[in-house]
Structure 1
Amino acid sequence: MKRNQKCRNCFPKQFTGLCLFWLAVSAISVNTTVAAEPEPIPKTTENVNPTFRAVGDGVKDDTTSLQNAINAGTSAIRLPRGTYRISKPLIVDLDKVGVTSIVGDGTARIMMTGSGPAIRFVGTHQGSASPKTVKPNVWQKQRMPLVDGIEIIGTHEEADGIEAVRTMQLTISRVVIRQTRHAIRLVERNRNVILSDCHIYENHGVGVFLDNVDLHQINLSACHISYNDGGGFVSKGGNVRNIHISGCDLEQNVQNVLIDSDGTKYGTAEVAITGCTIQHSGGPNSANVRFIGANPKGEPCWGLVTIANNILSDVETNIDIQKARDVIINGNTISSGYKFNIRVENSMNVVVGPNVLGRNPPYRDNETCDNGVLFRNCVGGTITGLHVHDTRRTEAGIILDACRRFHMTGCTVLDCDNAGLLLKDLEDCQIRGNMLRGKTQSDIEWKPMIVSGGRLNTIEP
């Protein structure tokens, strides 16, 4: 018993010595690791009110105060509650001032009373998104310029919100931009842009404008983009790849999403529009999603487009695909197309899967919306599982006109005016296994299928 007690008494001393030894070794290891790491970049924050004497009362011109805060290279420009009136663009020259963010807690407003963007980020990145093309000064001084938690409004006809040129990883989040011309405008060259949780509302130009820009990788998510006269999300010209619009609400923008490559050498491709609500305004030439993929010769060149799992309604044409290739439209709920729910023309390799295309009685659009479905002058297409009902004032529920090498099967076409299908001047197509029903089986004027011209087709009732 005494021997056991002795062992118990001596054990803590041995254990204590061993613990002290390992603690000493660990301390040496930790100190070595810390010393090996590069010295962190100093983090500084500047509240613009006390140091740079910005007033934020909506009356005094705070342009000089805010620009001085940016030029001082304080990194994080924090705007307390207030309205900061400016008359000239705030220029963030990233290579001179270093990494910069302009942030608030949702209570700060920048009021742009002059022409040009309220905030303009200028970088020097001339490479691609590949790491080997990004120069060291971009990582050290320019990466991820950030705007977060503020409101920007315009009081001048040519006032814009935020503009960026030659930036890397521009990030705009929790921002309200309204009553400007273009809310967010990307020009010349930018890479890896993220726009999230923003309200882009009531601007007389474009909400998000890719203006003849060389841009790869842009993600637009969880944003409301509404009442912008020049369009919601618009990409024109340039060299654009990897557009992803997801989980957004785009409404009342005349053209809610317009991607137009017509006449450009490099065009726009690799586009995904998923999980959005896209609707209104229904005016002339309005569209919810319009993709034009023509090259300088006017040929169908650009595409690789996915339009999936959206709700689209209440415009002249819900989905409009022109001169494009490699497009899939799947899993959408589409209604109230004043002329067309889907129109695809002069395109190649288009797949239209299960979508529901119709009308809902409480919306009372029976006299105003035709809900047409048209494929014209297309080569290579698969249409399967498409559900179409209640088209009005159209020649048929689905029209295939001058198309070649199309395969259509498993579709349901119900209660449409005049006919279920109109197949005109088709070549080398297979049409079979579809359900075509009129309002009443005794309606002798209604025809399940009308076939006009064509050659080398397999067509079955």
Structure 2
Amino acid sequence: MTRCNSLFPAGVAVTLLFALALQGQTNRGTPAVSVRDFGAVGDGKSDDSGAFQRAIDSGCGDILVPRGRYRFDKTVVAELDRVGPLSIAGAGTATIIMAVPGPALKLVGTHGGTASPTTVKDNVRLNQRMPIISGLEIVGAAPEACGIEATGTMKATFSKLLIRKALHGIHLTKRNRNVIISDCHIYENRGIGVYLDHVDLHQINVGNSHISYNDGGGVVQRGGAVRNLQIGNCDIESNMGQEAPPTGNVLIDATGGSIGEIAVTGCTIQHNHGAPDSANIRIIGESQPRPSYAQGELRGGNVTITGNILSDVQTNIHLHKVRGVTVVGNTLWKGYTNDILVEGSSSIVVGQNVLERNPRYHYGDGATAKRGVIFRDCDNVNLTGLHIASVQGQEAGLLLERCRRFNISGCTILDCDNCGILMDDVEDTVIS
């Protein structure tokens, strides 16, 4: 028999447990329940999806998931307006095995407003706010099995999760507001780690997480209307399969939708240069037209990229048809094709960044990385304090093609095997 040793005398432990249970009843009206109270077995073989569904449908709200391996043969759905405020929580010792296609857990809300309190209906405020999923491992055991999907939610919070061997990790669809993803490991999935899938979403924080080895990309937005995306203090690595379509560790693609107000700060973002057209940060900003006040401007933006470590991909930072971007305080190396590639963009500020070639990283084919900074078809750009060293196999350390209205000052460009700065068809530009 396995024993769990306690630091408390028996009488104290009983008193403490009673106090905690009483606190649960006093604060919430209903004590927390375990999925085992609803018939979950946790042996990794029995289908426990029904037990989880019954626990959620009970309306208890506080659903505890003790140690065990819980097999799901169907998606467990939380209809938030019906079941009320919800927390599904483990202590890191429970595993959900998703054995069929679809998400293991799906949160469904009805929020149709914005983040403004005046648009939050009473039923959302009372029944649906801040659904929490935490402290669980979710493992995909079918090719199309996913981790978690959320749609129509307000303040959904995901923390202390390990999601692996699924298709997508956390999948946000249709419409959500004020999402928090923190302290998670989203690892070794066949698709995308955090997927903003044609979603109308304002206010999302992705922080303090490891998002790695997901073949379809790390944090990926495709289409939709996304604002206020903050990615911070994360390790985001090798989120591109060797045979997958081109993607990125961070990929923001506004095609068919719109983007704006994005910050990528304080992250280590790197690998894998062997994947086709791989990028650490790739932003495709061309968006759907807006009303006449936009004066025909299609490029989204207002992006900050700062304080990151970026290496070992084909292109470290790729900006395509973006307007309003600040890139400052980053360290970049081993961009095998480019360190920075900017195309068709405007109002770009690239400040003090280090673009280095350290021979300590010349293991394997590391010495063959070309690197360099390229601007094509851009205007209204300020380059200040860049340190560019040892660009090889490029026409120049800094290349400008078909550009205008650049201000280049205080840059250090050293030891490139061709020229330092090359300008072709460039107008109204100052170098000092």
TM-score normalised to structure 1 length: 0.83
* Residues 372 and 388 in structure 2, CA contact (< 8 A), matched pair in contact too: no
**Alignment of structure 1 residues 171-250 onto 2, 5 Å:** 171-250=157-236
Matched, 1:45 2:32: yes
Distance 1:43 1:400 in 2: 66
* Aligned residue in 2 for 1:261: 254
**Alignment of structure 1 residues 17-416 onto 2, 5 Å:** 42-49=29-36, 51-254=37-240, 255-264=248-257, 267-282=258-273, 283-296=275-288, 300-364=298-362, 365=365, 367-416=367-416
Distance 1:429 1:296 in 2: 31
Q: How far off its partner does 1:153 sit?
A: 0.4
Give the letter for the 1:284 counterpart: P
List, as ranges, runs of 4+ consecutive aligned residues in structure 1 with deviation greater than 2 Å.
39-44, 295-300, 365-368
Q: How far off its partner does 1:299 sit?
A: 6.2
Pair 1:268–1:410, CA change in 2 (3 A)? same
Give the letter for the 2:303 counterpart: V
* Residues 336 and 369 in structure 1, CA contact (< 8 A), matched pair in contact too: yes
Distance 1:271 1:119 in 2: 28
Equivalent position SS for 1:228: coil
Distance 2:403 2:31 in 1: 63
Distance 2:356 2:390 in 1: 6
Equivalent position SS for 2:188: strand
Distance 2:91 2:27 in 1: 26
Once the two structures are superposed, residues 96-119 of structure 1 have per-residue CA deviations (whole angstroms, 9 ceiling, x without a partner) of 111111100100011000111000
* Aligned residue in 1 for 2:431: 431
Pair 1:147–1:212, CA change in 2 (3 A)? same
Q: Percent identity?
A: 53
Q: How far off its partner does 1:92 sit?
A: 0.3
Structure 1, gaps ≥5 residues long: 1-38, 433-461
Give the letter for the 1:415 counterpart: D
Mean CA deviation greater in 359-368 or 210-219:
359-368
Once the two structures are superposed, residues 359-417 of structure 1 have per-residue CA deviations (whole angstroms, 9 ceiling, x without a partner) of 11111055420012101100100000000001010011100111111100100000001
Distance 2:276 2:380 in 1: 30
Q: How far off its partner does 1:296 sit?
A: 3.8
Distance 2:89 2:337 in 1: 45
TM-score normalised to structure 2 length: 0.89
Give the letter for the 2:33 counterpart: E
* Residues 225 and 259 in structure 2, CA contact (< 8 A), matched pair in contact too: yes
* Residues 99 and 145 in structure 1, CA contact (< 8 A), matched pair in contact too: yes
Once the two structures are superposed, residues 298-326 of structure 1 have per-residue CA deviations (whole angstroms, 9 ceiling, x without a partner) of 96510000000000000000000000000
Distance 1:42 1:427 in 2: 71
Distance 1:321 1:327 in 2: 9
Distance 1:155 1:256 in 2: 24
Once the two structures are superposed, residues 4-50 of structure 1 have per-residue CA deviations (whole angstroms, 9 ceiling, x without a partner) of xxxxxxxxxxxxxxxxxxxxxxxxxxxxxxxxxxx97524311111x
Distance 1:221 1:296 in 2: 29
* Residues 300 and 325 in structure 1, CA contact (< 8 A), matched pair in contact too: no
Distance 1:118 1:268 in 2: 29
* Residues 249 and 281 in structure 2, CA contact (< 8 A), matched pair in contact too: yes
* Residues 325 and 348 in structure 1, CA contact (< 8 A), matched pair in contact too: yes
Distance 1:78 1:72 in 2: 13
* Residues 395 and 418 in structure 1, CA contact (< 8 A), matched pair in contact too: yes
Give the letter for the 1:42 counterpart: G
Equivalent position SS for 2:125: helix
Equivalent position SS for 1:426: strand
Structure 2, gaps ≥5 residues long: 1-25, 241-247, 290-295
Pair 1:273–1:279, CA change in 2 (3 A)? same
Equivalent position SS for 1:137: helix
Distance 2:256 2:284 in 1: 10
Mean CA deviation greater in 405-414 or 360-369:
360-369
Larger radius of gyration: 1
* Residues 313 and 336 in structure 2, CA contact (< 8 A), matched pair in contact too: yes
Once the two structures are superposed, residues 192-227 of structure 1 have per-residue CA deviations (whole angstroms, 9 ceiling, x without a partner) of 000000000000000000000000000011000000
Distance 1:170 1:368 in 2: 45
Q: How far off its partner does 1:295 sit?
A: 2.2
* Residues 279 and 317 in structure 2, CA contact (< 8 A), matched pair in contact too: yes
Distance 1:281 1:353 in 2: 26
Equivalent position SS for 2:255: coil
Equivalent position SS for 2:213: strand
